[in-house]
Amino acid sequence: MQINAIYPGTFDPITNGHLDIIARASKLYSKVIVAVAVNRGKTPLFTLEERVQMVESVTTEFTNIQVIGFDNLLVDCAKQQNATVILRGLRAVTDFEYEFQLAGMNRKLAPQLETMFLTPAEQYEFISSTMIREIAQLKGDVSCFVPVVVHQRLIKKFN
């Protein structure tokens, strides 16, 4: 049975925690679509094109990963991509309430989609893109939290 999952996020920037989820999801699903969101509610550091390119560059080792950008409702994007699972990462208990509400809304909008949650490995559970941006902006070392290409892009962005 072929099951396609969609893993949405702003990925601004992609972190080692995101990569951990992608790596584990690639073993569970036939295809994983990493869907990089525009997200009008946020002002991203990197453009959509830059974020898509960074995700593509750090996922080349996976044969069943596809990276796309999207600017519509997640459930509509999932339908367009023939995904039957929405994959979400949970870092801490504080993520659960928001993610639970989001899963309920997505179920109401598209009952044929299932939401599945994965937690990152322990060493990544505290990492967030927001924290990475703040540390990098203040010239802190984020090299152990993000892939090398992302670290280089952050240094370039803030110099």
Active site amino acids? 18, 42, 91, 129
Length of the chain, in residues: 159
3-class DSSP assignment, residue 112: coil
Question: What phi, psi does 90 have (nearest 5°)?
Answer: -120, 120
Identify any residues that bridge with 117 across adjacent strands, giving them in sequence order. 88
3-class DSSP assignment, residue 27: helix
Strands 85-89 and 114-118: parallel
Per-residue tokens: 140 = 């802190």
Sign of CA dihedral 105, 112, 77, 54: positive
Per-residue tokens: 48 = 């959509």
